[in-house]
Every structure is written in structure tokens, then in C-alpha cells.
């Protein structure tokens, strides 16, 4: 075995232990052999909204608006269920906490799940925490905190394993510690505009969150030492339809926008900041995106992959069985 192979294996082991997303130097044929540029998958009316890279299986994990599950998607497109709980009607954002061997998913109910009921639509809200290896339930955390509608949408995980959760029907961002204890991290009326709140969210290792409002395209920076001192990031253009975010190893931010429920653009942008995210510039743009209904993106050792779970067809009342993961070139 070559020294290069030994070194790469050691780096991968370190990445799993720390929960980081590792981008390795390219070898000849490594990208082609590791993952195909496009993964076409099929599972009965799965309609995934969220995606994460699973370093244990070297596969993807996806959520399901129809079934409220977390499923493994292999590079060949084969799908199997990893985690489920009947109390999760629809699952949205999904993230891996490799350092603690967990997978976390936001759950709610927009009325699109096979188990949706009048009692759960816009009332069911929380995160499910599962063992990454076995899919065993560790915690189911209720986040329907306070009056009004609720439906947790996305989450980010910090180095200590705390989760930060958005809810498009709320003016709050929630915090769930590693023991499953929930609290309101910050509540601010500026996070809710015309009934639409925050969507995609990431944790930045410099101690703050970045989160986007789907309807307005505003990007917010929330310092964890003083969340009430949140500030709006100055952008050259609003990220209307801003859905999934991914903080890349080089410090840039990938933003997926769509027009599923807002007059957004079907695009994938890369933003970079030189002033600690007081402002940011668009440094790369893939528009129009090759798929018409992208929602989010996941970093892998073989590049970033954008998910299209065919949510537009589901919203139109015509569920399908196919979805796509496409590499951002």
C-alpha cells in the first residue's frame, strides 16, 4: 500500500472522529471512482428535502417529506431506510454529527406527508436524533414552543454537538443540547417577514450562525455569545428562495435558491466574506441549475452535491419516485 493511500486513510479517519467535512487533494480518477457526477435515485414517493454526507457508509443520507424518514442513498442510487419514528410526519434538513455517531433531522408537517392530519399540520415540530450506525432513536425533541404555527426546517451542529434549528413559521431560532434539552436561542421579529421565517442555517467555527430567510433572501449572522446582537449580512443581491446552505472548508458559503414557494431563482451561488460576514460577495454562480427544483447541498470528499427531491411535483399533488443528486462542478 502506498504512503499516499495510508495518508488519505488517516485523514479520513480524523475527519470522521472530528465530524468535519474533508476535501482531499484529487488523485487521478479519484472523483470519477468515488462518486458519479449525477446520482439518479428511486424510492417510493420519498421526496427528500434535506441531504447530508455519511462518512461511515461513504453514501448520502436524505430526508422525506412524504414518509418522515432518514434514508441511505448509495452512489449507485440504491435507497434504504435508516431511521424512522411514527411521530415524524415529514423530515426536512438532515445533518451528521460524526464525532458523536449521530444523525439529526428536523421534522414538521406541511400537509404533504402520508400521515398528515389536521392535528399535526403546522403543529408538529422538532428534531429527531438517531444513532448513525444503527438508526436507533436517541432523542425526539419537541420544538413547538410558544403559540402559533410551527414546523422545524433545518439545523446546524456546532463543535460541542449542540444543534441550532430554524422554523419558517417562527421568529425564533432554537437550540438543542447534546442531551436533547431545548431552548430558544434568539427570538427577533426581524426573523419573520410576512409569515415566513428562517430556512437554511450553518454553524461557523468562529462562533456564529448564518441563516437565510426564504421569502426575503436576507442572510443573518447570529453570534452565539450574544444572539440578541444578530446583524443582517450586506449582500449585492437578496437570496430570495434561499433554501439550503453549506459552509465549505475554504470558508465560502454555498447557497441553493429555488422558486418553490417564493419568486426566487433556480440557482446555486457561492458567497465569500472578507470582513467576518458583515458583508459578502457572490464569487460563483451556477444559473440556471440543471435541475428545476433544488433545495439544498452537501459537501463530500468528492465535491458538493445538490439535491433535487422533485418537491414541485409533490406540491402539485403528483408525487413521483425519483430524485437527483448532482455535483456542483
Dist. CA 249–CA 129, nearest whole Å: 25
Dist. CA 329–CA 39, nearest whole Å: 14
Q: What count of residues does the chain have? A: 329
Low-confidence ranges of the chain (pLDDT < 70): 1-33
pLDDT score, position 171: 96
H/E stretch holding 323: strand 322-327
Q: Which segments within 158-241 are labelled E, that is strand? A: 163-165, 172-176, 182-187, 198-204, 208-213, 219-223, 231-232
DSSP structure class, residue 19: T
Taking alpha carbons only, the member of 283, 297, 281, 294 closest to residue 237 is 281
Q: Check: CB of residue 158 under 8 Å from CB of residue 203.
A: yes
Grid cell at residue 3: 504512503
pLDDT score, position 33: 52
Dist. CA 269–CA 292, nearest whole Å: 15
Q: Which residues contact 104 (CB under 8 A, 6 or more apart)?
A: 94, 95, 96, 97, 127, 128, 129, 130, 155, 157, 163
Dist. CA 197–CA 194, nearest whole Å: 8
Q: Into which CATH architecture does domain 35-327 fall?
A: 6 Propeller (2.120)
pLDDT score, position 7: 39
Give the model confidence (pLDDT) of 97-119 as tens digits.
999 999 999 999 999 999 999 99
The torsion defined by the Cα of 121, 297, 312 and 263, in degrees rounded to 10, comes to: 90
Give the model confidence (pLDDT) of 230-249 as tens digits.
999 999 999 999 999 999 99
Dist. CA 83–CA 63, nearest whole Å: 10
Where in the chain are the domains? 35-327
Grid cell at residue 45: 414517493
Amino acid at each position: 500500500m502506498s504512503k499516499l493511500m495510508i495518508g488519505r486513510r488517516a485523514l479520513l479517519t480524523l475527519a470522521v472522529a472530528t465530524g468535519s467535512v474533508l476535501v482531499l487533494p484529487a488523485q487521478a480518477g479519484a472523483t470519477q471512482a468515488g462518486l458519479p457526477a449525477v446520482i439518479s435515485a428511486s424510492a417510493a414517493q420519498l421526496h427528500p428535502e434535506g441531504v447530508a454526507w455519511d462518512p461511515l457508509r461513504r453514501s448520502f443520507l436524505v430526508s422525506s417529506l412524504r414518509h418522515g424518514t432518514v434514508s441511505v442513498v448509495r452512489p449507485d442510487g440504491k435507497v434504504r431506510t435508516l431511521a424512522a419514528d411514527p411521530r415524524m410526519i415529514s423530515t426536512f434538513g438532515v445533518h451528521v454529527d460524526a464525532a458523536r455517531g449521530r444523525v439529526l433531522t428536523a421534522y414538521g408537517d406541511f400537509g404533504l406527508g402520508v400521515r398528515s392530519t389536521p392535528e399535526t399540520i403546522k403543529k408538529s415540530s422538532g428534531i429527531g436524533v438517531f444513532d448513525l450506525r444503527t438508526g436507533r432513536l436517541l432523542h425526539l425533541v419537541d420544538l413547538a414552543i410558544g403559540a402559533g404555527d410551527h414546523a422545524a426546517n433545518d439545523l446546524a451542529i456546532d463543535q460541542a454537538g449542540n444543534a441550532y434549528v430554524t422554523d419558517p413559521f417562527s421568529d425564533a431560532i432554537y437550540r438543542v443540547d447534546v442531551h436533547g434539552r431545548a431552548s430558544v436561542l434568539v427570538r427577533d421579529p426581524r426573523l419573520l417577514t410576512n409569515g415566513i421565517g428562517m430556512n437554511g442555517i450553518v454553524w461557523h467555527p468562529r462562533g456564529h450562525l448564518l441563516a437565510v430567510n426564504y421569502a426575503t433572501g436576507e442572510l443573518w449572522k447570529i453570534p452565539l455569545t450574544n444572539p440578541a446582537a444578530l446583524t443582517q449580512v450586506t449582500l449585492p443581491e437578496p437570496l430570495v428562495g434561499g433554501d439550503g446552505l453549506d459552509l465549505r472548508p475554504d470558508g465560502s458559503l454555498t447557497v441553493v435558491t429555488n422558486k418553490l414557494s417564493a419568486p426566487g431563482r433556480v440557482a446555486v451561488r457561492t458567497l465569500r466574506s472578507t470582513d467576518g460576514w458583515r458583508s459578502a460577495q457572490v464569487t460563483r454562480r451556477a444559473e440556471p441549475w440543471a435541475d428545476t427544483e433544488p433545495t439544498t447541498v452537501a459537501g463530500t470528499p468528492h465535491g458538493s452535491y445538490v439535491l433535487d427531491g422533485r418537491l414541485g411535483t409533490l406540491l402539485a399533488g403528483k408525487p413521483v419516485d425519483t430524485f437527483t443528486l448532482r455535483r456542483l462542478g
